[in-house]
Amino acid sequence: MLPQALADLATAFYEVDVSEATGVARYFGIFHLPTVYLYRDGRFHAELQCEARPEAIRQAAGQLLAAPAQDEP
């Protein structure tokens, strides 16, 4: 659902299997799945947390990416 919902906002999606890449999970402090982090131009913006509906995803991601970048978790 993410590629379709974010087609106008994102050019790439990367999936990490944290059961295989446990270091990534520890580095980012991932405790629940799925976890979606938004980056733009290599800078972290936010963790995406919203309803799993295309319009909700589009709206939340648009607002988060419009805000200034933040420090990585």
Residue 15: pLDDT band with limits 50, 70, 90: confident
User: Where in the chain are the domains?
Assistant: 2-66
Residue 59: pLDDT band with limits 50, 70, 90: very high
How does the average pLDDT of the chain come out, rounded? Answer: 91
- The contacts of residue 54 (CB under 8 Å, 6+ apart) are 1, 4, 5
Half-sphere exposure of 28 (CA within 13 A, CB side): 18
65 pLDDT more than 90: yes
Tokens encoding 30: 């991932």
- 19-54 pLDDT, tens per residue? 899 998 898 888 888 889 999 999 999 999 999 999
CB 1 within 8 A of CB 57: yes
Nearest to 72 by CA among 48, 37, 35: 37
